[in-house]
Amino acid sequence: MPELPEVETVRRGLLMDLPGDTVLRVQVLRPDSIGCPGWREFCRAMAGHTFQGIGRRGKYLLFDLDRHAGLVVHLRMSGRLLLREAPAPASHLRVRMILSSGRELHFEDMRVFGRLWYVRPGQSWEAVVPALAELGAEPLDGLSGAQLAAAFARKSQPVKSALLDQRLVAGIGNIYADECLFRAGINPLRPAGDLRPGELDRLASCIQQVLTEAIDLGGSTLRDYTDSRGVNGNYQEESWVYGRAGEPCRSCGTPVTRVKLAGRSAHFCSRCQPCKRARARISGRRA
């Protein structure tokens, strides 16, 4: 699933190319890709709007349209937003917007979990996509240890699971949770509420560092993700632990460990990120 760095990379790419372009016509090839309103009304409503600014909240893209309207896009598992020269071949095309520049904005989505929502003039983003109101702290907006302390207070769940909870911190997924915790020297199995103030300060700083570095590298391409021009990301080639189970830690040489955690994988170095609970988990004893 595209995480914050991938979504931010798409946002920055589209921000260079899309503002000022007007939607002439919309074609919906997969009606369930439209979250709101119905797909026919979506086509009618979007036609004639000009793209202005583009924002982001967590993993959601927020497009400012003229006349105080908007468009929300969530890529979810395999969605891609691509500016293509028209006509252009496209695989898994779900929504096609013909633009005044002669180009087309394509929403392509192999697994069909992504969604687009039209925000009528005067409506708020949250009124149309209620999940936006539930998102936690934005990692790149000066995230602090104090904010993490408030989010993790009395949480007994593993800190890896807490980082994946979008209500606590917005935008972090499986890849970058592992990477941030490694950078901070914190084991993913430790209870979130047990982290000390100094550890939370370090984790907040590492989250911002890792996400910024990932954005600079265009995000991670493990399967479907590309930026708005169809270019793959490169962060996966620089990852410290994610996807490197059994390989030597880039810091100390200890083989990277992979365990299952709430149905997801967690990668860590048992030496750089020590934890009694992790040792018990690896040895098969009750944690």
In 3-state terms the chain splits into helix, strand, coil percentages (rounded to 5) of 35, 25, 40
Q: Is the dihedral of CA 176, 182, 185, 187 positive or negative?
A: positive
Catalytic residue (choose from 76, 120, 258, 264): 264
Contact 60, 72 (CB under 8 A): yes
Q: Is the dihedral of CA 154, 157, 161, 165 positive or negative?
A: negative
Contact 61, 81 (CB under 8 A): yes
Catalytic residue (choose from 59, 103, 183, 281): 59
Instruction: Say how far apart CA 112 and CA 115 lie, in whole Å.
Output: 8
The answer to whether 264 is a known catalytic residue is yes
Distances (CA, A) of 196 to 7, 31, 147, 188, 200: 31, 48, 13, 14, 6
Catalytic residue (choose from 3, 8, 108, 179): 3
Contact 239, 267 (CB under 8 A): no
Contact 140, 59 (CB under 8 A): no
Q: Is residue 102 left, alpha or beta, with left meaning phi > 0 and alpha meaning psi from -120 to 50?
A: left
The answer to whether 59 is a known catalytic residue is yes
Please state whether the peptide bond connecting residue 2 to the residue before it is cis, i.e. omega within 30 degrees of 0: no
Residue 75, SS3?
coil
**Per-residue DSSP letter, 169:** B
Residue positions annotated with a catalytic role:
2-3, 59, 264
